[in-house]
Structure 1
């Protein structure tokens, strides 16, 4: 269920250093850059979140336009467009022989899917595994999506929709809401108006583990289990304690990332990783 694979590319040029730093600012900021990594961990945060959801954990965490130091740039409203812009920036890191894995949370899972589909179409190597949380599989029909589309909602109605996703109340304060509202509406459009284009494409072959929060008011276990259709590899579904945004809760985030680390350790003990 991804774009058909084409012949492998001969080489992938590295991006300009400034472009790479713009999309992945966390490594120098957190001083976790590594000259010779054993793994690369490519991470996609949830709506309204920035790369700092992940970067203290030695990750290539995507900083999309519209947030933090990229606040003056217009945010993307189509996941496929975001993936298309990101692919040439990260492609050389995905094809240099270092194994990589993918982590995505909420709408970040759909952006991750689009990036991986585009990478496969370009002949780039697949990840060793993916950990995707708190979002239905991207082929869920629009009529079955468990949320209200933000387009057409009044400001008050949109605030209530955000609360249904467990957005922290501090976002709705007079000091922050004027900034967050436009970003959140753009990010919500990524999944509100998402068009799945992978029907009929073969599934991925790498393992996928999905997570769902036991207090999530939007996304159920049945929703995340739909990702099983997207791989011929191993598939697992794990229940987490917490609401939709558990990566913003200290103990819940620690448990989630520990589960990922444990599965990465199992991968590392297998063949193909030096």
Structure 2
């Protein structure tokens, strides 16, 4: 396994694989890898001849008041996980490699970005789409893998790829959870023991909504209220948003008669966590 720090070095390796007619899977990450990332890497290894993992804490998707400087960075641990999971190249650039002096071009996707995370973090998706398009251009993968925990990110990237005719298949992989139900996240390390226990309210509230859906409830307002009431029982939790939206467009639905996404964002102490589930009638 190689850890490469320059675009030129990655392109050189990619060109060799392309000349041999071999397929490439890309897993974009910000590092601090966990079992969720590992599941993406393992699937990429199953479906492609070669796997590239990018590890880059992307400054353009963080607002000034967010956790860019404190975001966990664990390169040696990440390298060990990648090697075990079958990665051949880690792309680990410095910020100036991706955003050199004079950089002033950004990718903006509209419609799917103004709601949910985009409403709470207005500059976030411009940074996400820009860095993902750059990584797709550099790695030229056949397939790129993303986790469904960031469901809005998946929808936004799918729209970008579709609108800009990028020749890559975007593959969304299921959320990986702890045994007690908490969705795996690099930000879970911020939680102290009391907050870690309190964070279980996210998956508990979503499970209640899923059960109610399976029992026949089709009114979004009832389900949203159910989720809010459950989360409000936890004193350390502060709700950012609870929504029920169309799975593809991410727009609110008045009644549930098609595939939906139920996303939530909740502060546990100072740590902002997201979770969700997809649902469609059987």
Short-chain TM bin: 0.3 to 0.5
User: Which of the pair has the greater relative contact order for Cα pairs under 8 Å at 6+ separation?
Assistant: 1
Structure of greater Rg = 2
TM-score (norm 1): 0.32
* TM-score normalised by the chain length of structure 2: 0.32
Structure with the higher fraction of residues in strand conformation: 2
